[in-house]
Amino acid sequence: MQLTSLFKLLAMSALTTALIACGSDSDSDNTSATEPAKTQINLDFAAQLNSAELQCDLNSETVGSGQTPANIKYFGVYISNLEVATDGGDFIAVDLDASATADVERGISLITFCGTSLTNSQIVGSVTEGDYSRVRFTIGVPEQYNHLDATQAEGILAKEIAMHWNWTKGYKHARMDVTGWNIHLGSTACSGENADAVCANGNRPTYTFSNVDFTSAKVVLDYAALVNNSDISTDNGGAPGCMSGTTDPECTAVFTSLGLDLASGQCSNNDCDSQSWVRIETN
């Protein structure tokens, strides 16, 4: 009886050890599969004329060197490569939340205020948990997606046909229209056909801001500041207003405000820091 009891005790001990081992493996697997904590990023946008909120086709504020009333009929911009960083850390990409105005796979959002039913003034996404205080983004559709056939594209690159630019084989990175004077920012000096097209002048400004409180900050797109040195009541040649042509006399002042070099389509300095029309305000 004593020998039998000993065998039973040894068997139970082995079974207990095996169960503990299995439990430990399960806990380990669960721990390794746990997703890292995330921080939600809500980035609000606002369109203004100086300090006045943009009211589509209703603003009475005068702008530019000619002090002309700016009745905005269309206002839209593509935002891509949205990134955030801590005070001293590297920039990391924001993973966009799915929405009608966000292309999650390509990292592109459409911000629109006027001239369309597809209005949107916010980008929502997430990043690995952290205390973020800097933001960086590009205005425009990235080159690798800029030449998609709008009739075959999906998501926001297909929904807003007013932002497609057929004659340069690409998209309008930004579009702001008033009667007789339009700003259409898009890539130029393009060659090639359809998806194989390549544009020498990207015309995609990248802006970086520090000391950003994502709980209360908004990105202000100020049309009045953009045309501060332009007379939107007259046109001295080329397309009406500025449609990104390197020889268009109206584009010189507009591109200076954008922080872009008109001849090359690149930032005039690091991250287009000389731009004067986009700023961060606190709600």
pLDDT above 60: residue 9: no
- Residue found by looking up tokens 């530019």 in the block: 64
What's the Cα-to-Cα distance from 11 to each of 17, 55, 145, rounded to whole Å?
10, 81, 65
Q: Tell me, what's the pLDDT at 11?
A: 46
pLDDT above 50: residue 8: no
With left for phi above 0 and alpha for psi between -120 and 50, is residue 194 left, alpha or beta?
left
200 & 124 share domain: yes
80 & 24 share domain: no
Cβ–Cβ under 8 Å, residues 99 and 106: no
Q: Tell me, what's the pLDDT at 33?
A: 61
pLDDT digits (tens, 9 = 90+) for 130-145: 999 999 999 999 999 9
12 & 127 share domain: no
28 & 134 share domain: no
212 & 116 share domain: yes
Question: What is the β-pairing status of strands 188-191 and 62-63?
Answer: unpaired
99 & 239 share domain: yes
Domain assignment of residue 19, given as a range: 1-34
Percent of the chain topping pLDDT 70: 87
pLDDT digits (tens, 9 = 90+) for 236-248: 998 899 999 999 9
Query: Within a 10 A sphere around the Cβ of 153, how many other Cβ atoms?
Result: 16
> What is the total count of domains within the chain?
2
Q: Tell me, what's the pLDDT at 4?
A: 45
120 & 257 share domain: yes
- Backbone CA torsion sign across 80, 84, 89, 93: negative
Collapsing DSSP states into helix, strand and coil, what is residue 56? Answer: coil
16 & 87 share domain: no
pLDDT digits (tens, 9 = 90+) for 164-219: 987 667 899 999 999 899 999 999 999 887 778 889 999 999 999 999 999 999 99
Q: Tell me, what's the pLDDT at 6?
A: 38
11 & 85 share domain: no
Question: How far apart (Å, rounded) are the C-alpha atoms in residues 71 and 62?
Answer: 9
pTM of the model as a whole:
0.86
268 & 176 share domain: yes
pLDDT above 90: residue 32: no
24 & 47 share domain: no
81 & 54 share domain: yes
Q: What is the mean pLDDT of residues 275-282?
A: 96
